[in-house]
Copies of this chain bind each other. A is one copy, B any other.
Amino acid sequence: MAEKKAVVLVSGGLDSATVLAIATNEAFACHCLAFDYGQRHRSELDASLRISDALRAGAHKVIKLDLQTIGGSALTDDSIAIPEPGSVTSAEQTSDIPITYVPARNTIFLSIALGWAEVLGASDIFIGVNAVDYSGYPDCRPEYIAAFEQMANLATRASVEGQRVQIHTPLISMTKEEIIKRGTNLGVDYGLTVSCYQATASGLACGRCESCLIREQGFHAAGIADPTHYK
């Protein structure tokens, strides 16, 4: 039987490492995709490569994509400060959507994954979106993912030829505790991952940003020792 290929978005964080372990466990030959998009926390790119290696992914590509050119997010724009929890003023945040939201990021990443999937002859794409901890991000909602999948199935040569693209979001309704337990059962070494929005060049976490706090609480709730390397 021919191997079943998948494209897996691997950012270097805890969630996407878990997704890669899940896809591997489902017997997909995983082709990992990371983006060098001008993010501040560039050590996540090193982490994504370490994770692909550790989980023996078949391929790992990093696509350069200059999202700083369009700006609009604390994650790509040095002039916007990354807030610590409780410090966001009403002037900085006018809706429930965090300032760390990058405009259309998941749409852009999934679109490029779709292009690569078509080249590979793959019809499965995995992404670690989560509607529990990131409920403020519009592009983490199930209805958004369903609409992307529908669009993808009209967008490609493969779709014209009858192959159906599926967007897999195994974490979408899991809590951080559940994600950590699942990944630990699958042998993920979370010490390799970087979640911090302002990690050092060598991947040390600040321990204070929202992403760090959610992660820390997840390990605590799961009753698993936190392997994060803090500053």
Contact = CB atoms under 8 A, between A and B. Distances in A.
Interface of A: 61-67, 69-72, 95, 97, 101-108, 110-112, 114-116, 118-119, 138-139, 141, 143-144, 147-148, 150-152, 154-157, 159-161
Nearest to A96: B160
Contacts of A66: 63-65
A66 B62 CA distance: 9
Contacts of A116: 70, 103
A227 to B, nearest CB: 32
- Stoichiometry, as copies per complex, reads 2
A160 B105 contact: no
Nearest to A154: B144
Given A69-B61, A112-B108, A157 B144 contact: no
Contacts of A108: 108, 111-112, 115
A107 B144 contact: no
Contacts of A105: 115
